[in-house]
Amino acid sequence: MVRFTHPQLFYLFIPFIIFLIWNVISLKRIKKNLDALAVGKIRSFLLNRILFNRIHLKSFLIILGTIFLIIASVGPQIGTKLTELKRKGVDAVILLDTSTSMDAVDVKPSRIEKAKYELSRLINNLKGDRIGLVVFAGSAHLHMPLTTDYAAAKLFLNSINTQMVTNKGTDLSAAMSLALDNVASENDKYKVLILVSDGEDHQGKALELATEAKEKRITIHTLGVGTPAGGPIPVFDKQGNQAFKKDNSGKIVTTMVNDGILNEIAMITGGKYIRVENQANAIGPLLSELENMEKRELKSHVFSQYEDRYYVFLILAGLCFLLEFVIPTRSGKEIVWEGRFSK
């Protein structure tokens, strides 16, 4: 199979063909003028040093060389070749809290949107690492398996909202258990979990799972999204009017980030706890941690790709122009003038 890197350059043949047509017309006019110059042996004597066959050959070489040059500029790629692709990195699974409390607006524009923004920056900085997504509230679901397709990962991340998990509440342990089940058991030291939440845990088994992760040599970094002062949770009626969530007594509910449990999970596994508020570059310390992690060769495979062949036509064009340059058009023999011409 053949394909071309710059197929639009085929349009160069249009002015080239126009030039050839003009050249043919000009040659016919020149030949007509030469025929009218003289007749018989007089014309042969006048033009005896000119080798017309070689002139035609030189013209043919220029035309052929130009064709090869245009083909080379188009960038032909012919056939395939085998290439081994090696990639080093870590497996990172993001556990993103989508409970109602992540709609709180103490972090602008909201906790969930700030978390998605920072995680998008994290994905932009990955180099060869595989990334996976787990979403959780009252239950946990694998939103995206491990992949190196970062564009797809960002699409999955952008689609997350606080309405996608119908079970209400916050179950950190369900998310951690699901994530641990979805990472391979071998070479656990090359794996990391990134828990993103405001720290509310309605089940209370997260610390036990953190200990299990430590035994498997899996690091858990935690991002606490929210402020110690907390903030209200906006709710909207059917007309789109905003209010704030209230408890049974009619008071506005204020949700605060739970630094304690998130910090403890990170400490147990040797990870890092980062509070994400309204600061710029909140994800910076986590990027440094991932960059400094020991990496391994995660995948090595062979794939086929097109191989450039433009240089073949470039060499042929060069040979044509070189031959055209060295071929003489004048003969070494000359007819001697004898003072008269015989019939």
CATH class of 86-300: alpha beta
pLDDT number for residue 94: 95
Mean pLDDT lowest among 12-16, 41-45, 131-135: 41-45
What residue type is 307 in one-letter code?
E
Q: Is the pLDDT of residue 318 over 70?
A: yes
For the chain, the domains span: 2-75+309-326, 86-300
**Which residue bears the tokens 């191989």?**
307
pLDDT tens per residue, range 237-260: 777 777 788 777 778 888 888 888
pLDDT score for 275: 92
- Rg value, the chain, Cα: 38
pLDDT, the chain, mean: 83
pTM greater than 0.95: no
Position 193 scores a pLDDT of 94
- Name the nearest CA neighbour of 153 among 198, 203, 96, 202: 96
For range 44-64, the mean pLDDT = 76
Residues 80, 197: Cα–Cα separation, whole Å: 48
Q: What share of the chain is helix, strand, coil (3-state, %, to 5)?
A: 45, 25, 30
d(CA 63, CA 68): 9
Instruction: Please say whether the beta carbons of 168 and 99 come within 8 A.
Output: yes
Residue carrying structure tokens 């119908």: 166
Query: What is residue 21's three-state secondary structure?
Result: helix
Please write the tens of the pLDDT for every residue from 116-125: 999 999 999 8
The predicted model gives 156-176 an average pLDDT of: 89
DSSP secondary structure string, 154-211? Answer: HHHHHT--TTS--S-S--HHHHHHHHHHTS-STTGGGEEEEEEE----SS--HHHHHH
Instruction: Give the DSSP H/E element, type plus range, for residue 243.
Output: strand 242-244
Give every strand in the sheet of 2-4, ordered side by side: 2-4, 76-89, 296-308
What are 103's two structure tokens?
A: 């709609």
Q: How confident is the model at residue 126 (pLDDT cuts 50, 70, 90)?
A: confident
Amino acid at 114: K
